[in-house]
Structure 1
Amino acid sequence: MWPDNETERDFLNFSGVAETVAEIIVQAKGRPISIGVSGAWGIGKSSMIKLTRSAIAARENESGKKASDKYVFVEFNAWLYQGYDDARAALMDVIADKLAKEADSRQTALDKVAALAKRVKWLRAAKLAATSAASIYLGVPPVGAFGEIFELGRKVWAEGVGKETGDATKKAVTDAAKEAGELLKPKEETSPPKEIQALRDAFEQTLDELGITLVVLIDDLDRCLPETTISTLEAIRLFLFLKNTAFVIAADNDMIKHAVRKHFVGVSDDLLVTNYFDKLIQVPIRVPQLGTQEVRAYMMLLFVDNSELSDDDKEKIRAAMIDQLKRTWQGKKVDRAFVQSLGVKLPEHLVGQFDTAERLASLMTTASGILGNPRLIKRFLNALSIRMTISKAQGVGVDEAVLAKLLLFERIGDTAAYAELVKHVSASGEGKPAFLQEWEDAAT
């Protein structure tokens, strides 16, 4: 079985694209840059983000310092916050917390970080005030200490004041005062536009004093509900196009367009919808579609990764296959014969799995229900692995290549035709559909 997780080990020949993204960020030399990594769901955007981070971190600048001294990374997954926190506020918090840790470890820009945290708190408070007012208006209790006062107020209205209620009210008022004191510390007269500009100034000054470029990696945006997607994009806009910042945003363009369309109700003009996202993205990069060679290599590497080979042998095979994939335009091929030429002793069953990968590769690349999508390929192989395990547990001993054909028929074939086959198999005492006999005889 293979988990559906992103990886920093390149199985898809994405390292070249990741190196290009890293080069764009490095060559910007502190100038603001925003890069959009687009592609369909499951195509490998998250892995591309991980590979980009590794490519930047591996570099050294002219002074010989490690790139980690110059580039600080923030990874933000809006999908994880969905339903638990406002994505805009969450992103601001994550960035502020990361910079606070950097300032503490470097013992510099501590005052700048404190000013930045203060601005973030103010915007948090402004959001809280707006939420509380809206909640009361709509009859929905606010959250936090203010929510406790709201609930106690309703209780007093309904039941009168008893000792227990009075004590609870005192505690709630104290907590609310403390919460308000933390969030609303700035006493000077201010406004959202002033605070937003002050936040941007504090953010820019902090990065300048720390001497770093902040690389913000936004992932899984296309998994979010439209509201969360827009909220995250609006938060990105707060920090966008400031010195010493780089944003890498991984998302399916079609899903982003859908979110924008839902947000701006009544906007049907595709050009306007496209322009919204284009204003945020300076450099669009599309994750390359996998061809038959890449799909074959990917499946073979998945089989290698699940084998009992040593980690050194696995890495030797992976590195050689990716290097070979870079030369397929010269007529080089990644297949079983190539892997066997690497001098690694391969178990017999692994060689058999390589044969399965060779037979499946072209179908996995062209079948309308898969089209070379790495996530769907992995799911197909997981389904194949599970059914092979069930087969062995039942003592049936199905041929893996035959079972793979049946799974393909089930996934991408005609639904009615597959149902008809299952019906005939079930009706036969031996599990052999009689209507196939005539075809088999003709073939023989």
Structure 2
Amino acid sequence: MIIPDNETAIDMIYSEAVSATVAKVIRDSGNEPLTVGVHGDWGAGKSSVLLMLEDAFSEDDRTSVVRFNGWLFQGLEDAKTVIIETIVEQLLRDRAFTTKLKDASKKLLKRVDLMKVASKAGGLALTGLTGIPSPDMLGGLMEQGKKLLAGGEELTVGDMTGYVKNVTDCLNDPEAETLPAHIHAFRVEFEELLAAADIDRLVVVVDDLDRCLPATAIETLEAIRLFLFVPGAAFVIAADEGMIEYAVRSHFPDLPLSSGPSTYARNYLEKLIQVPFRLPPLGYVETKVYLTLLVAGSSLDTGSAPFDTLLNLGREALRRPWDGNGLSRGVIEERLGAVSAELENALILADQLALPLAEGAQGNPRQIKRFLNTLNLRLAIADARGIGDDVNPAVLAKLMLAERFKADFFERLEVEAAVSGSSITVATLEEALRKDDEEPEKSKKPATAKGRGQTERLPEDDLLASEWVRRWALVAPALADEDLRPYLFVSRDRKALFTAGTNLALKEDWIEKLCGSTLGARAAAVEIAKLTPGEIEQIFDVVAARIRAATDLKKRPGGIEGLAELCKISANLQTPTVRLLADLPSGQLGPWAATGWDKIFTGAEAKRELAKLKEGWAKLDENKPLQLAAGGGRSGRGKGTG
């Protein structure tokens, strides 16, 4: 089941604590004008906080809440006038429609209409010094007239009347004022509107401002401060601070970079927003509870008593996340009785995914939802293709973690498992970590920057030495004995792993021969030469991955002879082979690495890169055998490739 990515009043991450605090700040501020910022990355839950804030005032007859989404009007209307009209229309809907309120709204909307005409004319219609229409405005009105007359369409009486009225109103308006007087009058009329609505507080929640273009975002913020910042009005603005700062820099490109300890963009934002709240990322326990509730909510009715009980248990755990590990099976059984299969699945998945997602998704609720939705979609694809029984959700989820957060590591697994279904890298890694756990503590090496308890069984490989990869390998279930091909098949979003006519069993046999004796490698190469270049490259990638995973590089690893044969078949593989040699840890390499390749590499680029590589090895004082082989006269006398 796909989890909707919409704002929600069902609080699974305890955002209500933030919304309740914002509501308290608004109530405690009395009649003072107020701007509150709810900040957080995209997907952090800002819109849900605003929805919960609306609910917090839903029973308060003396407070009117207006929601404004500037993104909906992007490019359609002037942001200043739209937010004002939205407020007026909402007040007219929410409050008793009295003559006093109607008159106040008409008076204010008339001033809004003047702003619209001025905006279309190229600027505000009143200059600060004279109070008369500016040349820009008159020119704009003339342009409007020219376009109207040249439009090629039949003009109506309404078209001409509307245009003439706009011009007449601007030239002859008896209320024409200087710009400061205009802004002051607008604020006075806005206060009169709030008084006519008979409310103590107007709360305007502004959402998705960080999705707007810079000009729209700045117009909205300036409308709030210039025209609407009056007693009785509170504005709650949900936006990513970084995006608003970007909007300020884009809208005012000539601003200096900084002023004192803060940038001008930051100072601008802090001037507009008096009280900032920032939504923190979810930690491990919070992610675990959130995952449990999301998965359980996709199978349980979110309005049912069991889900409400589970939700309350989750919120209890979130009050003091440092005291526990999330939702406990024991507590769930105590409150709900036997744990259902759906809930058991949710708990298992949360145990498995909480730590990697808390770190990889940086505690972002939207990214967590997207991960679960992708998982559910791939499981649905497996069912639709009739291979649902071959796909274990826990295995798929673990592979997706690597795909999402460690792409280079996943690509290696993908190449290795595409033919045989198993990954030698995973098998090596899991075996090494298992033996680490079995060793007595005293026999382990001291902790290093590459991870605690790392032993020499793991090769010095940047990927395998990664702390993230080692933690990933410890996530249940183990994958060494799993056939990973069904999982790769349903995960092939961007490339095809299995081409038409591919004989996987035959390819697996050839790969084993390439990684065996010299005679076996040569025999396999005769058959492989009949394949397409793409298929040959796929086999090359699998053999290369096995070499990278070798634990003893002092002696020639299995597969080197095979690579040499593949380079004879396809010259395009010669340069990748040199680069593979360059990627291996030079301190662990035996003399074989530097010998025999001159007879195999025929391409100019491969020869050039090999010469440069051997030049570097020849200076390698910490590996004398390799240094001697690379710089001495024995580099061409080896057996086979060495």
TM-score band w.r.t. shorter chain: 0.7 to 0.9
Query: d(CA) in 1 for partners of 2:375 and 2:215?
Result: 38
Amino acid at match of 2:31: G
Q: Which amino acid aligns with 2:373?
A: N
**In the alignment, which of 385, 405, 410 is matched to residue 394 of structure 1?**
385
- Asked if structure 1 preserves the Cα contact closer than 8 Å seen for 2:19 and 2:52, the reply is yes
Distance 1:349 1:153, change over 3 A: closer
- Note if contact 1:6-1:44 (Cα within 8 Å) is conserved in structure 2: yes
Residue of structure 2 equivalent to 1:74: 66
1:76–1:184: structure 2 CA closer, same or farther, 3 Å change rule?
A: farther
Check conservation: 2:205, 2:236, Cα contact below 8 A: yes
User: What is aligned with 2:193?
Assistant: 206
Q: TM-score, normalised by structure 1?
A: 0.84
SS at match of 1:74: strand
Moved more, 145-154 or 112-121: 145-154
Distance in 2 of aligned mates of 1:259 and 1:416: 35
Match of 1:338 in 2: 331
The answer as to whether partners of 2:39 and 2:238 remain within 8 angstroms in 1 is: yes
SS at match of 2:335: coil
Does the residue aligned with 1:247 lie in a helix, a strand or coil?
Answer: strand
Q: Is the 8 A contact 1:121 1:184 kept in 2?
A: no
Shift of 1:348: 0.8
User: What CA distance in whole angstroms lies between the structure 1 residues aligned with 2:203 and 2:263?
Assistant: 29
Pairwise CA distance, 1:381: 0.4
Note the alpha carbon deviations across 1:271-308, whole angstroms, 9 max, x for none.
Answer: 32211111111111111321111111111111122114
Please tell me whether Structure 1 or Structure 2 has the larger radius of gyration of its CA atoms: 2
Q: Which residue of 2 aligns with 1:361?
A: 354
Instruction: Select the residue among 349, 364, 369 that pairs with 1:378.
Output: 369
Does structure 1 conserve the Cα–Cα contact (< 8 Å) formed by 2:190 and 2:228? Answer: no
Q: Give the AA of the match of 2:366.
A: R
CA contact (8 A) 1:99 1:113 kept: no
Relative distance call for 1:420 and 1:100 in structure 2 (3 A) is same
Choose the corresponding residue for 2:248, options 226, 240, 260: 260
The superposition leaves residues 181-236 of structure 1 with CA deviations (integer Å, 9 ceiling, x where unpaired) of 79999443334332221111011122123331110101111112211111111111
For structure 2, which runs of at least 5 residues remain unmatched after alignment? 126-134, 435-479, 481-642
Separation in structure 1 between the aligned mates of residue 284 and residue 176 of structure 2, nearest angstrom: 64
**How far is the alpha carbon of 1:345 from its aligned partner?**
5.2
Q: In the alignment, is the contact (CA less than 8 A) between 2:46 and 2:279 conserved in 1?
A: yes
8 Å CA contact 1:33, 1:241 repeated in 2: yes
* Deviations, residues 60-110 of structure 1 (Å, cap 9, x unaligned): xxxxxxx1x211111111111112222122112111222333455356433
Offset at residue 174 of structure 1 (A): 3.4
User: For 1:266-285, what aligned pairs fall within 5 Å after superposition?
Assistant: 266-267=254-255, 268-269=257-258, 270-285=262-277
Q: 1:229 to 1:13 in 2, by over 3 A?
A: same
- What is aligned with 2:556? none
Query: Secondary structure at 1:206's aligned position in 2?
Result: helix
Query: How do residues 40-59 of structure 1 correspond to structure 2 at under 5 angstroms?
Result: 40-58=41-59
Please say if residues 149 and 173 of structure 1, whose CA atoms lie closer than 8 Å, have aligned partners that are also in contact. Answer: no
Note the C-alpha offset of 1:373.
0.5
Task: Supply the distance in 1 between the matched residues of 2:219 and 2:383 (Cα, whole angstroms).
Answer: 50
Query: How do residues 127-142 of structure 1 correspond to structure 2 at under 5 angstroms?
Result: 127-130=119-122
Counterparts of 1:78 and 1:168, CA distance in 2: 33
Q: Is the alpha carbon distance of 1:379 and 1:179 closer, same or farther for their aligned partners in structure 2, counting shifts above 3 Å? A: same
Matched, 1:403 2:396: yes
Which residue identity is paired with 1:243? Answer: P
Aligned to 1:22: 23
Offset, 1:338: 3.1
Letter paired with 1:382? N
- Equivalent residue pairs, number: 414
Deviation at 1:357, TM superposition (A): 0.7
**How far apart, in 2, do the equivalents of 1:361 and 1:25 lie?**
35
Q: Distance in 1 between matches of 2:124 and 2:53?
A: 41
Cα 1:358–1:180 change in 2 (3 A) is farther
Change in 2 beyond 3 A, CA 1:387/1:183: farther
Q: Among all aligned residue pairs of Structure 1 and Structure 2, give the percentage whose two residues are the same amino acid.
A: 36
Normalised by the size of structure 2, how large is the TM-score? 0.59
Checking the alignment, whether the CA contact within 8 Å between 2:23 and 2:53 is kept in structure 1 is yes
Higher RCO, 1 or 2 (CA under 8 Å, sep at least 6)? 1
Structure-2 residue corresponding to 1:114: 106
Aligned residue in 1 for 2:118: 126
Closer, same or farther in 2 for the Cα pair 1:317/1:238, shift >3 Å? same
Shift of 1:441: 6.8
2:40–2:279 contact (8 Å) kept in structure 1: yes
Name the Cα RMSD after superposition: 3.1
In the alignment, the residues of structure 2 paired with residue 348 and residue 89 of structure 1 have an alpha-carbon distance, to the nearest angstrom, of 54
2:190 partner SS:
helix
* SS of equivalent residue, structure 1 residue 243: coil
Question: Tell me, what secondary structure is at the counterpart of 2:305?
Answer: helix
- CA deviation string 1:10-60 (max 9, x = no partner): 1111112211111111111221111111111211111111112212324xx
Q: Give the secondary structure class of the aligned counterpart of 1:265.
A: coil
Distance 1:349 1:316, change over 3 A: closer
Q: Which amino acid aligns with 2:219?
A: S
Instruction: Summarize the Cα distance change of 1:434–1:381 in structure 2 as closer, same or farther, 3 Å threshold.
Output: same
Q: Distance in 2 between matches of 1:436 and 1:322?
A: 38
Q: Residue in 1 aligned with 2:422?
A: 432
**Secondary structure, aligned partner of 1:130:** coil
Contact 1:123 1:192 in 2 (8 A): no
**Range with bigger deviation, 372-381 or 269-278:** 269-278
Whichever residue aligns with residue 249 of structure 1, its letter is I
For 1:381 and 1:147, the matched residues in 2 are separated by 53
Structure 1 residues 292 and 195: alpha-carbon distance in aligned structure 2, compared to 1, 3 A threshold: same
* Cα deviations by residue, 1:220-253 (Å, 9 ceiling, x for unpaired): 1111221111111111112454110111111111
